[in-house]
Structure 1
């Protein structure tokens, strides 16, 4: 662990944290989240996960060399009218670390627009300014990323789609390895924000029947398959679906029933620790694909493994959002949807296939297989950069 910072907001008294788990070439990457109940332990675990997520996508032939891992977290309700002020004061306090070590962006409960606006007010040119010295042509890199953020597909920004596309590709690849059909397989997605919404969209496009979506208000189900595009058109900025616009056949149920909906695929895409030892027995899916960070506790995952239910770990399944930023910024891909989608699909298909192959060959879980790949890549990065990767 390189650095841990605890912060107290002088106005509301809420607490915030920053953990830098590891530096590579002097820089670490990870987002800022805001949710009631966020703890230092949670942020520490997320920072460690970012180190794994970065290392997992190391390609020695690529321009982008994975960074270290970091994470920020604030224990506050993002729906509170005071939330933006809290973010502003937090970023002001963390400014020296943002400028030197921490490349950061949005995460649960925090929007990139708010981060960019606050940093501009503070005179910081970018939320990833710490990585600028590593670029050969900073102007070209900024232009590529700016152009990529202007791209929309079906009225949705490319930056809000790539993460969910990666999760959906992980689901499709996992179904293939489990010898389950993609067409007609059922999925339940918990969370309908940027990640969950995009995941549901691409699953539906692939032919998976999305039969349940859980949001902050509860659960929406339809055994025949939900009209995902219709629901996306009737959600707010926090991913809450307007129940007044449900299609015929769709029904609203209590939130705690999301694990009970019969499905082959379970995609937790919202909060951490939502599948634990107390509710794991309710899972009937054939595979769990983690779109959120740390949604399945270690003891629950062990019990799922004992029941023959594999879990595709978060730092594999949801890695595309982070990697897309850097692939674009460093110039491995151009600022187009075609290049982004092709890279995400190819990379996630390769990663998930590698995990299943290792798991089957060595009798490990998918998480253990992913960790082995991360360790090998981290060792290669350290050998390449020496003391700058520590």
Structure 2
């Protein structure tokens, strides 16, 4: 579906890749030049992401993948109103099919406010009929989880980056490498990039460069991530007025060329492409952002021996945390969230690299095949449940 805002001329897109159990899940982003092709790419990745983490013992079973995108500047004062008008226009889909959360350029608080204004109870309205112990119980767990704070950050702003950091640690473990000997560069310092940098540092990895929209801050001895988080703006910009000893500023275009063991892409889609992949100076690229490495660039990196961990395998934590909490697989407490995320990330990463070693394919191909197998398993279990067996 494509929508045009009569007041601003902004265009919005909704793509449902597929329905499972009659429903689909995926975030809503807002950025200039967002296209329907981009939204379709993201929706396909959501289908893979949903199925990849399926465990028969969980209450949660996968939905299909969907995504929304609005071609508009999220910094524009009119952005919240544009967001609300888009959601009002696609309300029939929200009532029946599409559960939505924040994504690049949108904030969960704005989405929640818009849902209240258009008269829907929750941004996951379409999923509520599937909660076994009732919508009230599920929404109570979600509400309490979003009230949890972890070292100055909300749990909802933490789980995604914690999961991306666990992806890095799981990949290193699969290659028998110690985190204490590794360096990392993080592109992006919003909720995903900031939390990723925090938990990489806490695991012993030196974060030697972070990129935001204004440039790159680098320090070969390791950046003081907690200081940077304390001074971070609401739009994910680091405070250049409080540089530490050894910190240096680099131009924006040098974010790829800083030599490191791990590069985490945690900002815009299509960040690594034909025009810049040769600048990559890392052995591992972990996609904390959706669709951040284009296929031709990924093939060229693989030919150089660079391991690319695909988005649907590296950044599923925030999406899965929502569902695990809503459906009661975990409570609202941070320790339960972190434990479930860590186990799921290491299990999934192990499955992928077992397949890589057995077949010689890339992690993306291996992960997509595992996702398809789990989807078939989930559908089989749903059919058995429906028939009463």
TM-score after normalising by structure 1: 0.97
1:143 corresponds to 2:140: yes
CA deviation profile, 1:111-166 (whole Å, cap 9, x unmatched) = 00001111111111100011111112222111111111111110111111111111
SS at match of 1:18: strand
Which residue of structure 2 lines up, in the alignment, with residue 361 of structure 1?
Answer: 358
Q: Detail structure 1 runs of 4+ shifted over 6 Å in the superposition.
A: none
Quote the residue 1:209 is aligned against.
206
Paired residues, what number? 385
Q: CA RMSD in A?
A: 1.4
**1:287-326 equivalences in 2 (<5 Å):** 287-326=284-323
How many Å separate the matches in 2 of 1:387 and 1:36? 45
Aligned with residue 235 of structure 2, among 227, 233, 238? 238
Distance in 2 of aligned mates of 1:178 and 1:18: 39
C-alpha deviation, 1:235, in angstroms: 1.1
Provide the residue aligned with 2:149 in structure 1: 152
Residue deviations 1:78-114 (CA, integer Å, cap 9, x gap): 0111111111111110111111110001000000000
SS at match of 2:208: strand
Partner SS, residue 333 of structure 1: coil
C-alpha distance in structure 1 between counterparts of 2:29 and 2:355, whole Å: 33
| Alpha-carbon offset, residue 333 of structure 1 | 0.7
Q: Note the residue ranges of structure 2 that are not aligned, 5 or more in a row.
A: none
**C-alpha distance in structure 1 between counterparts of 2:208 and 2:354, whole Å:** 30
2:105 alignment partner, one of 105, 109, 112 = 109
Tell me which residue corresponds to 1:51. Answer: 47
Unaligned runs of 5+ residues in structure 1 are: none
How far residue 386 of structure 1 moved from its aligned partner, in angstroms, is: 5.0
The correspondence of residues 220-369 of structure 1 with structure 2, limited to 5 A, is: 220-369=217-366
**Distance in 1 (alpha carbons) for counterparts of 2:175 and 2:259:** 17
C-alpha contact 1:20 1:70 (8 A) present in aligned 2: yes
User: What is the alpha-carbon distance in structure 2 between the residues aligned to residue 280 and residue 178 of structure 1?
Assistant: 23
The question of 1:168 aligning with 2:165 is answered yes
Shift of 1:387: 12
Distance 1:176 1:385 in 2: 34
- Please give the alpha-carbon distance, in whole angstroms, between the structure 2 residues aligned to 1:173 and 1:124: 39
Question: Match of 1:21?
Answer: 17
* 1:382 corresponding residue in structure 2: 379
Secondary structure class of the residue paired with 1:69: strand
Q: Deviations over 1:156-206 (max 9, x none)?
A: 111111111111111011112223321031100000001000000000000
- Report SS of the residue matched to 2:186: strand
Q: Given that residues 26 and 388 in structure 1 are in contact (C-alpha distance below 8 angstroms), is that contact kept between their aligned partners in structure 2?
A: no
Shift of 1:247: 1.5
Q: Cα distance, 1:388 vs. partner?
A: 12
- Post-superposition CA distance 1:359-389 (Å, at most 9, x none): 0111110001101101101111222335999
Deviation at 1:60, TM superposition (A): 1.0
Partner residue of 2:126 out of 116, 130, 133: 130
Does structure 2 retain, via aligned residues, the 8 Å contact 1:23–1:388? no
C-alpha distance in 2 between matches for 1:388 and 1:116: 33
Q: Distance in 2 between matches of 1:37 and 1:21?
A: 21
Q: Name the CA distance, whole Å, in 2 between partners of 1:124 and 1:370.
A: 35
**Counterparts of 1:84 and 1:247, CA distance in 2:** 36
